[in-house]
């Protein structure tokens, strides 16, 4: 019986110690509270002088045209090393101009480096803007939140940067509006070849009478066309590389062929040479 009473007294003593320790812990927690609810603590700007993320858009390139509706978005996002606060890129997304007004137009990007394919980008002038958010959990002290004074607490620093790129989708081939050479007979062997295209063309390509293609940067002249029937196929190539359908023209040249100048030069040279020989001969006879 005495042994049982002893165990009960021991148990009561342990319970008293636990109660005192718990009370002490509660008092310490009230004396030095902290907040784990970061949304309640709030987001504040980082210290003055903190630099935002650096966004480098490699592709699409600014002010560049592309002949495909699928374009690669290649980027690299990094944090400056000079910052006094250690932030990291926590959010990354882009806003495409061709989805303006559409729900959820913010498109999340999973990694700060790499490439993704932008599919079915409509033709025409386009732009997209990339946003990068850097954040850090910071320790602060002696702060008042919602009327309550906290000795120690945590907050979230956030700083955002953005970069925009403008480009054009052009997968429509240029169309030839007119060619100066017409379907008729010309009485001259030299014809100007002037081509009018419905958009700026980087090259004009033509093939005369099925021969090899000739590339020009603009208007040119077809020289020394022989007498007879001819045909010319004209193409236009735009700055992106689209080549339109050829414009084929059939025409004729009916012009007197130039008299070869060598026919006149050779006889005169021979007469002059013979005359010089006779003059020397007569001088010797004399």
Contact 236, 244 (CB under 8 A): yes
Q: From CA 46, how far away is CA 41, in angstroms rounded? A: 14
In sequence order, what are the residues at sequence separation of 6 or more whose Cβ sits closer than 8 angstroms to the Cβ of residue 222?
Answer: 181, 190, 191, 192, 193, 208, 232
Domain-embedded: residue 260: no
Domain-embedded: residue 4: no
Which residue shows structure tokens 């003055």?
48
Cα–Cα nearest to 197, from 173, 176, 179, 171: 176
What pLDDT score does 223 carry?
93
What pLDDT score does 174 carry?
93
Q: Are 153 and 85 in the same domain?
A: yes
Q: Are 50 and 113 in the same domain?
A: yes
What pLDDT score does 115 carry?
92
Q: Are 53 and 123 in the same domain?
A: yes
Q: Are 102 and 57 in the same domain?
A: yes
Domain termination residue (choose one: 138, 169, 200): 169
What pLDDT score does 164 carry?
96
Phi, psi of 14 (to 5 degrees): -65, -40
In sequence order, what are the residues at sequence separation of 6 or more whose Cβ sits closer than 8 angstroms to the Cβ of residue 108?
Answer: 92, 93
Number of CB atoms found within 10 A of residue 74's CB: 15
Domain termination residue (choose one: 145, 169, 193): 169
Q: Are 130 and 37 in the same domain?
A: yes
What pLDDT score does 208 carry?
96
Domain housing 224: 176-253
Q: From CA 108, how far away is CA 119, in angstroms rounded? A: 15
Helix (H, G, I), strand (E, B) or coil at 208: strand
The pTM (predicted TM-score) of the whole model is 0.61
Q: pLDDT tens digits, the chain, 286 residues: what are they?
A: 444 444 455 554 444 444 433 333 233 222 233 333 434 445 677 778 888 899 999 999 999 999 999 999 999 999 988 777 788 898 999 999 998 766 657 889 988 888 999 999 999 999 999 999 998 877 666 666 667 666 555 667 888 999 999 999 999 999 999 999 999 999 999 999 999 999 888 899 999 999 999 998 878 999 999 999 999 999 999 989 999 999 999 999 998 764 443 433 344 343 333 344 433 443 444 4
Domain termination residue (choose one: 142, 169, 196): 169
Q: Are 111 and 203 in the same domain?
A: no
Phi, psi of 131 (to 5 degrees): -115, 135
Domain-embedded: residue 17: no
What pLDDT score does 67 carry?
92
What pLDDT score does 20 carry?
39
The helix, strand and coil proportions of the chain, stated in percent and rounded to the nearest 5, come to 20, 45, 35
Q: What is the CATH number of the domain that holds 191?
A: 2.60.40.10
Q: Are 242 and 151 in the same domain?
A: no
**Taking the C-alpha atoms of 110, 114, 120 and 121 in order, what is their torsion angle to the nearest 10 degrees?**
100
What pLDDT score does 159 carry?
87
């Amino acid at each position: 019986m005495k042994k049982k009473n002893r165990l009960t007294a021991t148990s009561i003593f342990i319970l008293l110690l636990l109660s005192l320790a718990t009370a002490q812990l509660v008092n310490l927690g009230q004396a030095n509270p902290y907040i784990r609810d970061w949304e309640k603590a709030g987001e504040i700007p980082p210290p003055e002088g903190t630099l935002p993320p650096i966004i480098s858009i490699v592709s699409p390139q600014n002010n560049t045209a592309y002949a495909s509706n699928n374009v690669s978005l290649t980027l690299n996002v990094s944090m400056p090393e000079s910052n006094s606060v250690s932030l990291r890129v926590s959010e990354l997304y882009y806003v495409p101009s061709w989805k303006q007004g559409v729900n959820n137009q913010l498109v999340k990007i999973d990694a700060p480096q790499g490439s993704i394919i932008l599919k079915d980008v409509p033709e025409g002038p386009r732009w997209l803007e990339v946003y990068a958010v850097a954040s850090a959990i910071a320790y602060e002290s002696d702060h008042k939140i919602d009327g309550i004074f906290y000795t120690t607490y945590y907050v979230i620093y956030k700083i955002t940067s953005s970069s925009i790129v403008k480009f054009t989708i052009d997968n429509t081939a240029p169309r030839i509006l007119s060619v100066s050479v017409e379907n008729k007979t010309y009485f001259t062997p030299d014809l100007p070849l002037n081509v009018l295209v419905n958009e700026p063309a980087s090259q004009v390509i033509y093939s005369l009478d099925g021969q090899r293609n000739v590339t020009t940067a603009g208007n040119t002249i077809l020289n020394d066309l022989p007498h007879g029937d001819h045909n010319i196929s004209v193409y236009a190539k735009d700055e992106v590389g689209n080549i339109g359908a050829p414009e084929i023209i059939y025409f004729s040249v009916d012009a007197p062929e130039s008299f070869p100048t060598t026919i006149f030069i050779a006889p005169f040279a021979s007469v002059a040479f013979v005359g010089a020989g006779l003059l020397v001969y007569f001088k010797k006879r004399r």
